[in-house]
Structure 1
Amino acid sequence: MISPAFTCGSCGQVHDGLPFAYSMPAPAYWSAEMAENPASVLGEEQCVINDEHFFVRGRIVLPVRDADEDLEWGVWVSLSPANFSRMAEVFENPARVHEPPYFGWLSTVLPGYEPTTLNLKTNLHTQEIGVRPVIELEPTGHPLAVEQREGITVARVREFAEIAFHQ
């Protein structure tokens, strides 16, 4: 979702809207050269590298305390071969919402965070068919985990927008 225009603190210009969702196109470990390898594939929801590393797309939701919508990061999480296989097995089954969470490692570097978000521990929660999984971070002191638990403000959403608009 995108909210009304805002004045950017980086450039002073008025930008058309304040995005409340961002999506990363691939896991941090993916490179364009891998597309030529038949053992590696990057799809809309899943990624396999060298038939040995398995990733799925999910959403990290950050509550925005002073807005009517949440911020969503579209991210990639690595899963074990067994969990990746199980998730594929139940992908079209409506009962998948009852699956226990799958452990994984965050495989996305999100801008605006120090230290890096790469390799944070996660639990992936499957949702109803047609809805991307929700990623729950291990409740640590990492700034992303804290923001997931405690929420953020529209000012923080604006910080992310300024990073995205000026990279």
Structure 2
Amino acid sequence: MGYSTMAPDVWDQRFADDPDSMLSPDQCVVQGRHFFIKGLIEIPVIGRDDSFSWGVWVSLSRDNFARALDMWNTPGREAEKPYFGWLTTELSLYSPSTLDLKTNAHTRPIGRRPFIELEPTDHPLAVEQRTGITQDRVREIAEAVLHSDRDDL
């Protein structure tokens, strides 16, 4: 139950030929200066045992990105402290913009995407992450995404 984006909003296909840029399903580097990892904003669904998730990208500092890569295939990596980052995915269903919301990326066991914790603000996405959403809200999101012009939401 969720939707995912293919790349951070700053990614442009012209970077694909740049030797200092790369995009994989889990990591992204833009011109050797901007570093991103993909993770999940998980939102509890009220009355259910599962969550709705947004697959999003967060920017990390060069040092935190390097550390995350070093630990990517290391058993026990979930013991890492969270990495501070900025949300770099625009989720157009939310207003104001979701770009540049403060996050903490929590590494999980190998094979699981990081859990993206939003700063506890009054932004609607952060409120939903803290308080949960109804099944009706999940349907509302699904309808909005299915009728969206964006291919990657």
1:157 is the counterpart of 2:138: yes
Equivalence map 1:13-32=2 (5 Å): 20-32=1-13
**Post-superposition CA distance 1:3-43 (Å, at most 9, x none):** xxxxxxxxxxxxxxxxx210100001001111121111111
Name the counterpart of 1:101.
Answer: 82
Name the counterpart of 1:123.
Answer: 104
Aligned AA (2:79)? H
Name the counterpart of 1:62.
Answer: 43
Separation of aligned partners in 2, 1:120 and 1:87:
20
Gap regions ≥5 residues in structure 2 = 149-153
How far apart are 1:94 and its partner, in Å?
1.0
Residue number among 21, 26, 40 corresponding to 1:40 in the alignment: 21
SS in 1 for 2:68: helix
User: Quick check: 1:111–1:163 contact (8 Å CA) kept in 2?
Assistant: no
TM-score, normalised via structure 2 length: 0.94
SS in 2 for 1:34: helix
In percent, how many aligned pairs have the same letter?
54
**Alignment RMSD, CA only?**
0.8
Structure label with greater radius of gyration: 1
Gap regions ≥5 residues in structure 1 = 1-19
1:141 is the counterpart of 2:116: no
User: Quick check: 1:21–1:71 contact (8 Å CA) kept in 2?
Assistant: yes
TM-score, normalised via structure 1 length: 0.86
Separation of aligned partners in 2, 1:50 and 1:152:
38
Separation of aligned partners in 2, 1:110 and 1:150:
18
Name the counterpart of 2:151.
Answer: none
User: Quick check: 1:34–1:49 contact (8 Å CA) kept in 2?
Assistant: yes
C-alpha distance 67-95 of structure 1, shift in aligned 2 (>3 A): closer
SS in 2 for 1:89: helix
Moved more, 87-96 or 50-59: 87-96
Runs of 4+ in structure 1 over 4 Å off? none
Separation of aligned partners in 2, 1:119 and 1:106:
5
